[in-house]
Structure 1
Amino acid sequence: MSLSQIGTAESVATAGVAGVTNSEDASAVITNAAGLTGLDDSSMVLGGQLIDVSSQFEGLGRETTQSSGQQFVPHLSYAQRLNDDWVAGIALNSPGGLGVAYSNGIGGRPANIVKQNKISMLSVTASAAYQVNERLSLGASVVAQYAAVDASVLGRSMTGAEVAPTFALSAQYKLNDITRIGVNYQHGSEHDIEFDESFADVQGTAINWPSTFDVGIDHQLTERLNIMANAKWQSWSDYDANYQDTYSAGIAAGYQMGEWLWQAGFSIDTSPVDAEYRDVVLPLDKQWRLGIGAQKTLASGNKIGIAYQYQNLGEAEIYATELQLLRPVGEYSENRVHFITLSYQF
């Protein structure tokens, strides 16, 4: 599962829409490095989000299994203006992952072969931004992406991890004092993970993380109200030959009430895979997200924020032409994620 939520109240409250046009704090290191030129001096953001995943598979042959899991994902970003033209920053966040345990095996079979499956990912991003002129800024990032697999198969643990490099390029352009456009390209990564111990001649697995291109706009509609919109492409066809690229769109708004900034957002994604190729390891379908949150500016000028988001992963129907362990015929009566995030800016 690819995360548009980077562990800040703003990213969760706006359903990921605000990231590509962010130019107000250090978390832009992750979402659009060019936005760092909006900083006057330095900025640091600390955050964390609790991710609660739950799904219920209902098989045509009465197979059933519930998968659930919780993960805590950290966020740390820092940026510093170097001179009139340059700003640099560094950040730690999770770009995605998924971890669940199964009540009746991965496919709802009595054999209960796979009891849990987890993919963990962390990225360390170093970014630099250059102010070309008063309207245009450019940014670039280098990323070290860590991926780990931990699965329980017939009571045996299959684990492995690898670090792979990747990069990002970005730009922001001010149309005027109240309208800003942002674009960000994040290149994909390839992880060839070898397990610590092979099992049934399976010695490892490959994770081909998709590339992402994100474009968005932020417009200050009134003195208190700003609106945001974005569109995104992800190369999920690189993840697996049977997958297809996805497209998403989102809209969000922020309303300033004294010391409080209230935000809300909604976004949708197309499905990366058709029912005939979908499996119970990664039951992704078309998705939608709804977020809400608030940030308070303290007397010190620092900001504290809290946000909640509901993400629906779709019915994820599975229809295999032949009976397979990972592709039992059925669908998900429940397939969702809850996000709860707390962040602090100073």
Structure 2
Amino acid sequence: MKFKQTMVSLSVAGALLVMSGSAAASGFALIEQSASGMGNAFAGGAAIADDASTVFFNPAGMSRLSGKQIAITAHAITPSAKYTSAAGVPSGGDAGGTAIVPNGYFVMEVNPALRFGLGVNAPFGLQTEYDANWVGKQQAIKSKLETVNVNPSLSYQVNDKLSIGGGLDYQHIKGELSQDQGGAIGVAVINGSDSTWGYNLGALYQVDSTTRIGVAYRSTMSYTLSGSVATSLPFANGPVSLNIKLPDSLSISGFHQYSDKWDVMADVTFTGWSSFKQVKIVDGTGVTISNTPENWKDTVRVAVGATYHYNQHWLARAGLAYDQAPVSDEFRTARIPDNSRTWLSFGGQYKPSVTSAIDVGYSHLFLRDSSINSPTPAPALVGTYKNAVDILSVQYTYSF
């Protein structure tokens, strides 16, 4: 029994740490919810409200949309994570890989003051995979996390200045983790899943005809992941579970129409990653077999952007953002090789008609080199990660 507990502890203790890796936003959050926002590095996300993706960024913004509108987006997210030992020897290949993340939104006008919206998206996610025989195979090989979030929302126009909104979030999470335990055990593979409910709230205030301010909040999401460990030794397999609380976030955004040609926007978002305090693993009988402190910290993301309107058919976007990582140097592991990142974003929109629009956005994320000194499980990993992320987004919006 002690042998099984030791194996499960080493394998499962990293099951949620995998979610950090080289995700595109703070921790393993995915801010990639629209191609229109991508072009501005998502600056002013809670205040722009120019298409149906406002369901995610600020449901109060639906009050700015008339009739019915649908927006469908696909994001190609390509992280890169390359490890080099302190002796200068690279190992593991590139742990990153391209993942396609879709999202879709629908908004309809119920009456002049009321709007209904529905969003289907992925607020959290990650996919990384090292070479099977790399030097850190006993710490991590494959790591995959997927979420699906269904978000019905309502907005209400209180008066000419103020709109409010809110919604419910039904979210499903599933993940896969593998690492090499060595000997007869071989590669241990962990799978787990769960579903839970949360909510989001927002307000949008029109200061004057050219300026508006938006505030949006998304709640924490509490999970109890249930799953199993599978190895080549049947007696070492069995059910496991762990609790995790994904963070809440608060965004404050501003939008200003500087002239007929130029819009400017800014944004600050606080994410409560300090809710991720530990990874406590229990077996099928409820006995704690591992309790790993994480010591994640809250993060701040700041962004500025601008949009230039060439004419009624074409516009161009640009943005710059700085996004803190929740993991400090002393707690970095092979499953958390990322660091704070700077976003440089560009994009544009073409409107072939008054009812349709095509948006394209691209971002390159510059990450600082990440030092690592992870002694367990052996062999120790002492070296440096070079990380980067590229994101290409395409969106089609249709109003009817």
Q: Does TM-score exceed 0.5, indicating one fold?
A: yes
- Match among 60, 63, 83 for residue 34 of structure 1: 60
CA gap 1:323/1:208 in 2 versus in 1, 3 angstroms: same
Does structure 1 conserve the Cα–Cα contact (< 8 Å) formed by 2:135 and 2:379? Answer: no
1:226-241 to 2 correspondences below 5 Å: 226-240=263-277, 241=294
In structure 2, the residue matched to 1:57 is 83
Gaps of 5+ in 1: none
In the alignment, the residues of structure 2 paired with residue 167 and residue 143 of structure 1 have an alpha-carbon distance, to the nearest angstrom, of 5
Two-structure CA RMSD over aligned residues (Å): 2.1
Instruction: Decide whether the 8 Å contact of 1:104 with 1:112 is kept in 2.
Output: no
Aligned partner of 1:344 in structure 2 is 396
Q: Is the 8 A contact 1:10 1:293 kept in 2?
A: yes
Q: Give per-residue Cα distances to partners, 1:31-56, cap 9 Å, x unaligned.
A: 10000000121111011111112110
Q: Of Structure 1 and Structure 2, which has the larger fraction of its residues in helix?
A: 2
User: For residues 47-86 of structure 1, what are the structure 2 equivalents within 5 Å?
Assistant: 47-60=73-86, 62=89, 64-66=91-93, 67-86=95-114
**Are positions 1:195 and 2:221 aligned together?**
no
Aligned letter for 2:295?
N
**Equivalent position of 2:191 in the other structure:** 159
Go from structure 1 to structure 2 and tell me whether the alpha carbon gap of 1:53 and 1:250 turns closer, same or farther (over 3 Å shift).
same
Find the partner of 2:364 among 304, 307, 310. Answer: 310
1:121–1:314 CA distance, 2 compared to 1 (3 A): farther
Structure 2 residue 296 is the aligned partner of structure 1 residue 243: yes
CA-to-aligned-CA distance 1:59-100 (integer Å, 9 cap, x gap): 226573231222111111001111121111001111121101
Deviation at 1:288, TM superposition (A): 1.3
Separation in 2, partners of 1:140, 1:202: 37
- 1:150 touches 1:159 (CA, 8 Å); kept in 2? yes
Assess if the C-alpha contact under 8 Å between 1:63 and 1:109 holds in 2.
no
| Match in the other structure for 1:273 | 327
Cα pair distance change 1:269/1:30, threshold 3 Å: same
Match of 1:141 in 2: 167
Q: Rate the CA distance shift 1:60–1:145 in 2: closer, same or farther, 3 A.
A: same
**1:151 Cα deviation after fit:** 1.9
- Kindly indicate whether the alpha-carbon contact (under 8 Å) linking 1:281 and 1:326 is maintained by their aligned counterparts in 2: no
- Report the residue type matching 1:73 in the other structure: V
- Residue identity matched to 1:188: T
Identify if the C-alpha distance between structure 1 residues 316 and 164 changes in structure 2 by more than 3 Å, giving closer, same or farther: farther
Cα offset for 1:156? 4.4
Percent of aligned pairs with the same amino acid: 24
Q: Per the alignment, in what secondary structure is the counterpart of residue 318 of structure 1?
A: strand
> For the Cα contact (< 8 Å) 1:214–1:230, is it kept in 2?
yes
Q: 1:168 to 1:276 in 2, by over 3 A?
A: same
Q: Secondary structure at the match of 2:37?
A: helix
Report if the CA contact (8 A) 1:104-1:110 is conserved: no
Output the CA distance in 1 between the equivalents of 2:77 and 2:101: 8
- Counterpart-to-counterpart distance in 2, 1:208 and 1:63: 35
CA–CA separation in structure 1 for the residues paired with 2:315 and 2:127: 33
Q: Aligned pair in 2 of structure 1 residues 46, 111: CA closer, same or farther (>3 Å)?
A: closer
Cα separation, partners in 2 of 1:272 and 1:111, compared to 1, 3 Å: closer
Structure 2: which amino acid aligns with 1:98? L
Deviation at 1:223, TM superposition (A): 0.5
Q: CA deviation at 1:113?
A: 6.2
* 2:240 matches 1:213: no
TM-score, normalised by the number of residues in structure 1:
0.92
Note the C-alpha offset of 1:329. Answer: 2.5
- Please, what TM-score do these two structures have when normalized by structure 2? 0.80
Per the alignment, residue 3 of structure 1 pairs with: 30
Q: How many residues align structurally?
A: 341
Letter paired with 2:190 = M
Look at both structures and tell me which one has the larger radius of gyration over its CA atoms. 2
Structure 1 pair 282–207 and aligned structure 2 pair: CA distance change class (3 A): farther
Q: Residue by residue, what CA displacement relative to the aligned partner does 1:109-154 show, whole Å, maximum 9, x if unpaired? A: 2655642111112211111101111000111110011211112334
Q: 1:242 to 1:325 in 2, by over 3 A?
A: farther
Per the TM alignment, residue 282 of structure 1 is displaced from its structure 2 partner at its CA by 2.1
User: SS at the partner of 2:38?
Assistant: helix
Distance 1:111 1:318 in 2: 15
CA distance in 2, matches of 1:274, 1:299: 49
Counterpart amino acid of 1:77? Y
